[in-house]
Amino acid sequence: LTPDMHAEAYYISGVASIYLNLTAAAVDSFEKSLALTPQTAEARWMAFYIAEEYFNQGDFKRSYETFKKYFSLFDAHNQRFARYKIAWCFINMNVSSSAEETFSKLITETTREDDVSKDSMKDLAFLVVRTRNDDQILELAARLFSQHREKQLDFLRWVNTDLEAQGLTHNQSKVRAYLMQHETDPVRRIQLQLGVLNGVRKDYASTAYKDALLKIKTTVDLEHISPTSKEFSIIRGTLDSETQRVIRSYTETYSGKVKSPENLTQQQLASSLQELFTFYIQYYPQSDKLPTVYSLWLEVCEHQSDWKCVYKTASQVIADTTLPKQLKDSAATRSEEHTSELQSRQY
């Protein structure tokens, strides 16, 4: 038999081994086929299979060596993908600088974005979060994307996302500060502010926690983002849950269930709760939590002997046709009971 015929036989044997789930045998057959002749129509596919299997087995050195050895067999698309896999071989071999260089070239060498450049962008962010500080990351972003401002921002967005996922962001994060300064999209700015809010989350009443939420309210108001807008729909769920957390931290501190190290007075807590209730009702008028929010608001007003607040809140409840009858009846009763107190203070 000629070498080409032997190579074909090994190829067929390798394919059969794949169907029998005999991966090691398939790799062995393909390597023997390629050793005889790397110029067959199937050579490119076999080489990629071998390199991928070594990678999947955690043998990153042999995977890297296989990709490099047969690199010239691949077409342009598969060469880019092979380099992407080589970058991950570098990461797993703890050669971070080579991985960073490879990802950087895959991102910047083409003006047309493809799946490889997109994944390289995310993975470069993943890498630098673990190997560089904020200043170094910003310097790298400026250098890599000096001619591509949007790519620079996109890269830093991925960095910030990965920092948040790893719990590595902090209020003084320079990456987040840079994004806050340069983001023009209001929704993205609000998402960054939500990251800040998450970073200062407390189980007790915290001025910084409340202020971080109210900064988001300020942005929403300044950008004229209504509760029914497309922009608000993107942040609605996250903002809803975060607002409820802030309200819970303040109500539980107000009731004495938890203690706050800030030593806020009952009047300060009540004033903050009224701000929070107003915000929630304004932006979540259809929420199933509204009856609870209104009930809490009425209780706080009564506890503070703020009869004007009782009357005003009760009037809102009575006017809202979507609220349950029991709550509306309770609000009406409270309003009537405290009308005399309100009137006596006016004279």
Helices (H), 20-75: 23-36, 43-56, 60-69
Give the phi and the psi of residue 134 in degrees, each rounded to 5.
-60, -45
Q: Model's pTM, two decimal places?
A: 0.74
Tokens of 96: 């971070």
pLDDT tens digit sequence for 84-132:
999 999 999 999 999 999 999 999 887 678 899 999 999 999 999 999 9
Q: How far is CA 86 from CA 113, 167, 182, in A?
A: 20, 28, 34
pLDDT tens digit sequence for 288-337:
999 999 999 999 999 998 888 998 999 999 999 999 999 999 989 888 87
pLDDT tens digit sequence for 10-24:
999 999 999 999 999
pLDDT tens digit sequence for 47-59:
999 999 999 999 9
pLDDT tens digit sequence for 208-266:
999 999 999 999 999 999 999 999 999 999 999 999 999 999 999 999 999 999 989 99
- Nearest to 86, CA basis, from 103, 107, 109: 103
pLDDT tens digit sequence for 159-214:
998 888 876 655 678 999 999 999 999 999 999 999 889 888 999 999 999 999 99
Angle at 173 between CA 172 and CA 174, to 5 degrees: 105
Q: Is 33 left (phi over 0), alpha (psi -120 to 50) or beta?
A: alpha
Query: For residues 191 and 189, what is the distance between their CA atoms, to the nearest angstrom?
Result: 5
pLDDT tens digit sequence for 25-49:
999 999 999 999 888 889 999 999 9
